[in-house]
Amino acid sequence: MVLVHGFGETLERWGRTQASQVLSPHFQVIVFDIRAHGRSGKPHDPQAYGPELASDVVRLLEHLGIGKAHIVGYSMGALVGLDMALLHPRHVASLVLGGAGWNPPETLESFRRQAEAFEQWKAPIAARADAKALGALLRGLRVLTESEVRSIQVPMAAIIGVNDRFLGNVRRLSAIRPDVKVEIIPEADHATAVTHPRFAEALLEFLKLARLSQFGRLAAGKSFRISRGV
């Protein structure tokens, strides 16, 4: 399984949650730095992002000799997961959207405004982060159409805090995809849901069901940390 972190985070983010510890006895867990983050490459061209982020996950799996994996994405990582399920379905055993659902079209304008803030150095960034790369990533992100969301064939789940500002996007997803399993974590918001014990529990429950009901057993008990660009 591949854990895909959110915007402005790094692979170390997963170490501050219970997800890796809970999942490692049952799955081979892979974490990595998305482009523009951590120790991965930081191109300044928006064309280097968007669907290329999903292609990076495919290249990583191929590098490790893995044909198919469960994809777990949090926040922006969930957008990468949706592109994986849409564009590279043969590599996706299942998809879990953490803190995210189906973004409305106006999200693109929000991405543009955020990109401008980074490009003009008006947004706070972590030490050693590349503001221009983060801006380019935001400009490269896209929003799936309704037909694209409906066409996704892999099992999907969404796990989100009850106080998450993106809960409406999960409800929007459920309206056209009632087959998506939804877990709402009480007393949690966008920042805290991923570290809540229930997040890891719900994640494991869904992934076990997806693995046992539709897919072959994946190698368990191993964990990889990938921090170089692929």
Within a 13 Å sphere around the CA of 164, how many CA atoms are in the beta-carbon half?
27
Tell me what percent of the chain is helix, strand and coil, each rounded to the nearest 5.
45, 15, 40
Q: Which tens digit of pLDDT belongs to each residue from 137-149? A: 999 999 999 999 9
Measure the CA–CA gap between 216 and 203, rounded to whole angstroms.
18
Task: Dig out the tokens for 110 from the structure.
Answer: 């929000």
Residues in the chain where the model's pLDDT stays below 50: 215-230
For the domain bounded by 2-226, which CATH number is listed? 3.40.50.1820
pLDDT for 21 equals 87
pLDDT (tens digit per residue) in 7-18 = 999 999 999 898
**Which runs of consecutive H residues, i.e. helices, occur in the chain?**
19-23, 51-63, 76-87, 107-119, 131-140, 146-151, 167-176, 197-214
CA distances from residue 142 to 99, 164, 187, 191, 221 in whole angstroms, order as listed: 17, 21, 30, 22, 35
pLDDT in tens, 61-81: 999 999 999 999 999 999 999
pTM > 0.85: yes or no:
yes
Residue percentage of the chain with pLDDT more than 90: 83
Domain residue limits, the chain: 2-226
* pLDDT value of residue 217: 40
